[in-house]
Structures are given as C-alpha cells and as structure tokens.
C-alpha cells in the first residue's frame, strides 16, 4: 500500500450505489497534506457522495479510504477528531443565532464554556458577522450563512476541512470573501478539499484538481497541467449562416486538432486551443473558405469544454494528465 504519511486523503476504488444509481464507480483520490485540493465536476458527478464517505457519514460499498492516516470505516472516531465538514446545504441551525451555533459546536469539540465563547467571538469578528451574531440564522443572507458555516468548521483547529460547493449561490463579492477565507486557512497549513462546479474557482484556489464525472475521476493534476490538456483559451464563433456550421467545424478541427463543441445555438460553436495564434489561423481559414463569421471571442474554457476535451482523452485511454 502507498504511504499515506504526507497524504491527507488516500482513497482507492471507492464505489457507492443508491438503488439503481451508481453514484461512485471506482474513485481514486490522493490529496497531499497542507494544500487546497479542488474536486471539480458537474451535477450528479459524485462529489458530495465522495466527501460524505471521506467525512465518515457514508460507508462505501467497496474500496477503501484513509483520511489523515486513519481508515474511514474502521476508525471513524480518529478521523472525526481531526476533520470538519461544511456540507453543500449550510450545516447550521436555522432557529438559533450565529453565536449560539458556534458556541454549541465549540462545546461539542470539547472546549470549556469560556473557551467556546471566546472562539465563537473571534470567528464572528473575523468573518464579518458582528452585527448578525445575535440574530437567528434564518434571517441571514446566503453569503452570511456560508460564512457562518465556514466559521462552524473552525471552532477546533481541524487538520482537514471538507467544503462542499462553498460558493454556489453566492454573488461575486460573497465568493471573493469565501475565497479569502480559504486562502487564509491554507496559509495556516490546513488541508482543504473543496468541491466546485466552476473550473475558474478550482483554478483560483487549488494547488491540484481532480475532475470527476459519472462517479469516476477522469483527470488529475495541477491547474496548469489540466489547462494544458484542455487548451488555455477557447475560441467561440458565431456564424452568419447556421447551415455553414458543419463546414466550419471541420476547419476548426483541422487547425486545432481537438474536438469541436457544437453549441445549443445552431449558429455557434467553440474549440479550445493552446495559443491565441491557432485562433487567428482558424479565423483566417474560415474567411478564406467564405464562411460568414458574425462574431467571435476568445475566453477561458468553460467546464463543458473541459469535459468534452477530457472525455475525449479518457476515450483514448489516456486518463491521467499528471
């Protein structure tokens, strides 16, 4: 077995079925200690299920996982003593105030009443919840609730924190605040495993990323490696005549050597490339062939495009880019 000393999480071949649904289909995961690890995937990919297994809430049907060196099924208490979980749907008590929530969690971690109160106060101040501290959580905005949820994970210095979609539903300012908290935690040496549906977010925060789809990890690596495999920039094209799309797709495929994504809009298509130069070549070729281009833009690849590219890779047996 692989050494798990410097790994915060080591999971091998995790499977989990819910009735007819195969939620996890052999998930392998190695999360190095002391960094932010991104777990990226679309709805229903198996992110929450994986996190719940690692956080001892769910037993895997098969496979094994060690968290901080302890087996999640055989030694759940040893794991629980050192982890924290902020679930996908805020895991705080709606009827109680923010301060009461944090004090209860502090007491349940083993703090004496005075220490629990002091820690709650510190977190309330750090997370900008002073004005709301004595209001029931049901009066909080989504962003405040998320911050309280994060604070709830920090009452007792965990070594590893699981954050399930910490920014889903937040506005850009709220998202930036959560990112700042995650970065501050990482700077303190806490390992963070966070799930997200946004490549952008994983890219911003994570030292390494695993991409999961249909219950399997289909790619793993640093954001740089991942982008490399997908293309750093995506060319979006809107055609004047939708009937020219097949022709345009062939041209793009030739220039980029990668699968072309056909948009729901019949006049639109996109492809990821490694350099803006490829985009320039492709546009020139389209122009020469007489394809009418109504507009184009060059942006970062969307999650859709990452998946398209990665699924193409895994079809040819090249599963791990790292």
Partner 1 sequence: MTLAPPAQATPAPTSGPPAFTPGTRPVPPSPASAALTFAWRALLKIRRVPEQLSDVIAVPIIFTLLFTYLFGGALAGSPHRYLQFLLPGTLVMAVLLATMYTGVNLNTDLSKGVYDRFRTLPIWRPAPIVGALLGDTLRYLLASTLVIALGVALGYRPGGGVSGVLLAVALVVVFALALSWVFTLLGLVLRSSNAILSLAMVVLFPLTLASNTFVDPRTMPGWLRAVVEANPVTHLVTAARDAMAGTATLGQVGTVLLASAALVAVFAPLTMRAYRTRQ
Ligand X SMILES: Nc1ncnc2c1ncn2[C@@H]1O[C@H](COP(=O)(O)OP(=O)(O)OP(=O)(O)O)[C@@H](O)[C@H]1O
- Given CA atoms 261, 265, 266, 270 in this order, what sign does their dihedral have? negative
Choose which of 1, 3, 6, 43 interacts with ligand X (CB under 6 A). Answer: 43
Asked whether the beta carbons of 26 and 62 are under 8 A apart, the reply is: no
Q: Which of the choices ligand X, Mg ion, partner 1, none does residue 293 contact, using the CB cut-off of 5 to 8 A by kind?
A: none
Specify the residue, 70 or 216, whose C-beta has the smaller distance to ligand X.
216
Residue 123 engages partner 1 in binding (rule: CB under 8 A): yes
| 55-to-27, 48, 163, 239 alpha-carbon distances in Å | 15, 10, 11, 49
Site for Mg ion in 42-71 (CB under 5 A): 47-48
Asked whether the beta carbons of 98 and 124 are under 8 A apart, the reply is: yes
Residue 241 CA to residue 228 CA, distance in Å, equals: 32
Token digits for 241? 């005549």
Shortest distance, CB of residue 179 to Mg ion, whole angstroms? 19
Residue 297 engages partner 1 in binding (rule: CB under 8 A): yes
Per-residue contact flags (x/-) with ligand X for residues 9 to 38, judged by CB under 6 A: ---------x--x-x---------------
Residue 41 engages ligand X in binding (rule: CB under 6 A): yes
- For residue 260, give the DSSP letter: P
Site for ligand X in 184-223 (CB under 6 A): 197
Residue 49 engages ligand X in binding (rule: CB under 6 A): yes
Q: Which of the choices Mg ion, ligand X, partner 1, none does residue 49 contact, using the CB cut-off of 5 to 8 A by kind?
A: ligand X
Residue 137 CA to residue 155 CA, distance in Å, equals: 18
**CB-neighbour burial class of residue 138 (10 A; exposed 0-12, middle 13-18, buried 19+):** exposed
Residue 276 engages partner 1 in binding (rule: CB under 8 A): yes
Q: How far is CA 261 from the centre of its chain?
A: 23
Residue 44 engages ligand X in binding (rule: CB under 6 A): yes
Query: Which residue ranges make up the site for ligand X (CB under 6 A)?
Result: 18, 21, 23, 41, 43-49, 88, 197
Query: Which residue ranges make up the site for Mg ion (CB under 5 A)?
Result: 47-48, 88
């Amino acid at each position: 077995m692989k050494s798990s000393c410097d790994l915060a999480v080591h999971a091998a071949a995790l499977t989990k079925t819910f009735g007819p649904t195969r939620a996890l289909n052999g998930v392998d995961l190695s999360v190095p200690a002391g960094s932010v690890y991104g777990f990226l995937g679309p709805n229903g990919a198996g992110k929450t299920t994986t996190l719940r297994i690692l956080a001892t809430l769910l037993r895997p049907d098969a496979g094994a996982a060690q968290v901080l060196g302890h087996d999640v099924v055989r030694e759940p208490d040893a794991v629980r003593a050192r982890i924290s979980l902020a679930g996908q749907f805020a895991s705080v008590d709606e009827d109680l105030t923010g301060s009461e929530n944090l004090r209860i969690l502090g007491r349940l971690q083993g703090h004496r009443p005075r220490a629990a109160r002091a820690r709650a106060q510190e977190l309330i101040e750090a997370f900008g919840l002073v004005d709301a501290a004595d209001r029931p959580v049901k009066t909080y905005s989504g962003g405040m609730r998320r911050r309280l949820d994060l604070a709830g994970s920090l009452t007792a210095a965990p070594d590893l924190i699981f954050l399930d979609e910490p920014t889903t539903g937040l506005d850009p300012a709220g998202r930036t605040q959560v990112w700042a908290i995650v970065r501050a935690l990482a700077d303190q040496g806490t390992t963070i495993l966070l799930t997200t549906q946004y490549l952008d977010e994983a890219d911003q925060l994570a030292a390494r990323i695993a991409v999961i789809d249909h219950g399997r990890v289909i790619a793993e690596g640093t954001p740089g490696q991942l982008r490399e495999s997908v293309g750093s920039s995506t060319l979006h094209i809107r055609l004047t005549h939708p009937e020219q799309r097949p022709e345009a797709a062939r041209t793009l495929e030739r220039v980029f050597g990668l699968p072309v994504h056909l948009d729901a809009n019949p006049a639109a298509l996109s492809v990821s490339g490694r350099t803006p130069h490829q985009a320039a070549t492709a546009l020139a070729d389209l122009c020469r062939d007489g394809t009418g281009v109504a507009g184009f833009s060059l942006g970062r690849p969307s999650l859709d495009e990452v998946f398209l590219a990665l699924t193409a890779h895994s079809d040819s047996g090249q599963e791990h880019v790292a």
